[in-house]
Each structure stands twice: as structure tokens, then as C-alpha cells.
Amino acid sequence: MLLITCPHCGDRAQAEFTYERPVETVIALDATVEVAVETLYNRANPRGWSWELWRHTHGCGAWLRLHRHTATHEVAAVALLEAGA
């Protein structure tokens, strides 16, 4: 995982990127308090494949969706976060 392929910038060092959170833990604006608390604090924390939000902080600044394996560090997919996502 030392290289992450940014859709804008190409292969870039992982040090340029910042992990944010698993995609499914983004809280919907209309979530109830219970759902919001559950989403904010509880994690599946998988040992395996996970969809995560990352940001190319020290590069183009784009928000990215990474499909990443948490034990082998393979990155299967890097996608831009689409508008409204």
C-alpha cells in the first residue's frame, strides 16, 4: 500500500494521503440520535476488505473512496467521491 493511485495525480506515496473513516460510518443528515451515535462510535473494524474515505491531503486534495485490505494492504480500487455521495 505504499503507492496509492490517485485518479488525478497517478501513483503517489501513501504519505501524501490521510485516512478519514470507513465509508459506511458517514452519518446521514436525517439520522435519528440512536443511529447517529451507533454510526459515529461503533465499527465493524474488519480484518479484510473495507471501503474507506481517504483524502489526498498533500496532493490534489481530492476526497477518495479506497477499497483496501486491512491485513495485506492491497488497494483494489480508488474512486473519486462523486457529488452528493
Partner 1 sequence: MKRYSAFNLFREGLNGHKGWEPAWRSPQPAKSYEAVIIGGGGHGLAAAYYLAKRHGLKRIAVLERGWIGGGNTGRNTTIVRSNYRQPQIQRLLEFSLKLWEGLSEELNYNVMFSQRGALFLGHSDSDMTRLAERGDALRCNGIDAELMTPAQVARLIPLLDMSDMARFPVHGALIQRRGGTARHDAVAWGYARAADALGVDIIQNCEVTGFDIQGGRIAGVRTSRGDIATDRIGMSVAGASGQVAALAGFTLPIESHLLQAFVSEPVKPMIDTVIMSQSIHCYISQSDKGEVVLGGDPDLYPTYSQRGVPHRLEEVAGQAISLIPALSRLRMLRSWAGTTDMSFDGSPIIGTTPVEGLFINGGWCYGGFKATPGAGWLLAHTVATGAPHEINAPFGLDRFAAGATVDEQGTGPMPQAH
**2 versus 28: smaller Cβ distance to partner 1:** 2
The one-character DSSP state at 52 is E
Q: Which residues bind partner 1 (CB under 8 A)?
A: 2, 13-15, 18-19, 21-22, 37, 40-47, 50, 52, 70-73
Question: Do 76 and 68 touch, CB atoms closer than 8 A?
Answer: yes
The one-character DSSP state at 15 is G
What lies within 8 Å, CB to CB, of 14 at 6+ separation is 1, 2, 3, 4
**29 versus 42: smaller Cβ distance to partner 1:** 42
**9 versus 38: smaller Cβ distance to partner 1:** 38
Taking the complex as a whole, the smallest distance from the CB of residue 39 to partner 1 amounts, in Å, to 11
